[in-house]
């Protein structure tokens, strides 16, 4: 088992992520995690899939949530602390990023939620925003890719719609992390031609719902 992994708030990679978010609302960092940890996370995702623990993802939330494969076709399972050492390592690193974002951007991020996402061949996710109309807690989206042998032409790119004229396609290469402002950057997952693995999550602030 690897020792607990956290990053100092002054780490250059965290600083670059925060600076990018402040300047343009998104950031991409290649090799965000050590290759060993990335492989362990991929193995954990595949293990959960093989054991039937991943479920078809829905759209909407609460009682209004429904599975619509014409909109999204991934299978997911949420991460909880204490389930696997590799997952706990990842959650610790992302908490370091949460603290760095708060220090640099004063967003008041209180927690981080994330799930494994497995896209089987042919699956996609249509253009959307990562914030519900009745829930403004999600502030920053974060996607870590786990596809060690991804090659050009296999599809599954994350397409970010940065403005009316600029589109960025991010290949789902293992170890690459993409973060962006949840309520401001529309995006989609292009159809994948092979199995596509990721960890998709959101840094959240306190909501405006009554207690």
Could you read off the pLDDT of 175-210 as tens digits, one per residue? 999 999 999 999 999 999 999 999 999 999 987 654
Q: How confident is the model at residue 20 (pLDDT cuts 50, 70, 90)?
A: very high
pLDDT at 135: 79
Percent of the chain clearing pLDDT 70 (strictly above) = 90
Tell me the domain boundaries of the chain. 13-50+74-205
Kindly report the CATH number that applies to the domain delimited by 13-50+74-205: 2.60.120.620
The mean per-residue pLDDT over the stretch 154-173 comes to 95
Pairing between strand 75-78 and 167-170? unpaired
The mean per-residue pLDDT over the stretch 46-66 comes to 78
Q: How confident is the model at residue 9 (pLDDT cuts 50, 70, 90)?
A: confident
Of 36-45, 50-59, 63-72, 190-199, the least confident: 63-72
Greatest extent of the chain over all pairs of C-alpha atoms, in Å: 49
CA–CA distance from 125 to each of 97, 98, 121, 198, 211 (Å)?
Answer: 26, 26, 12, 13, 33
């Amino acid at each position: 088992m690897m020792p607990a992994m956290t990053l100092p708030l002054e780490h250059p990679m965290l600083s670059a992520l925060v600076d990018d978010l402040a300047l343009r609302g998104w950031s991409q960092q290649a090799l965000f995690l050590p290759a060993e940890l990335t492989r362990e996370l991929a193995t954990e995702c595949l293990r959960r899939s093989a054991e039937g623990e991943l479920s078809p993802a829905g759209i909407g939330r609460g009682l209004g949530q429904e599975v619509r494969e014409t909109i999204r076709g991934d299978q997911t399972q949420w991460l909880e602390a204490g389930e696997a050492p590799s997952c706990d390592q990842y959650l610790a690193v992302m908490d370091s990023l949460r603290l760095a974002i708060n220090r640099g951007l004063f967003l008041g991020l209180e927690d981080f939620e994330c799930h494994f996402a497995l896209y089987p061949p042919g699956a996609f996710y249509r253009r959307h925003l990562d914030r519900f109309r009745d829930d403004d807690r999600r502030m920053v989206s974060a996607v870590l890719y786990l596809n060690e042998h991804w090659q050009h032409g296999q599809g599954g790119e994350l397409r970010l719609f940065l403005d009316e004229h600029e589109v960025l396609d991010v290949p789902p290469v293992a170890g690459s992390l993409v973060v962006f402002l949840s309520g401001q950057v529309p995006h989609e997952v292009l159809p994948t031609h092979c199995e596509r693995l990721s960890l998709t999550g959101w840094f959240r602030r306190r909501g405006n719902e009554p207690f």
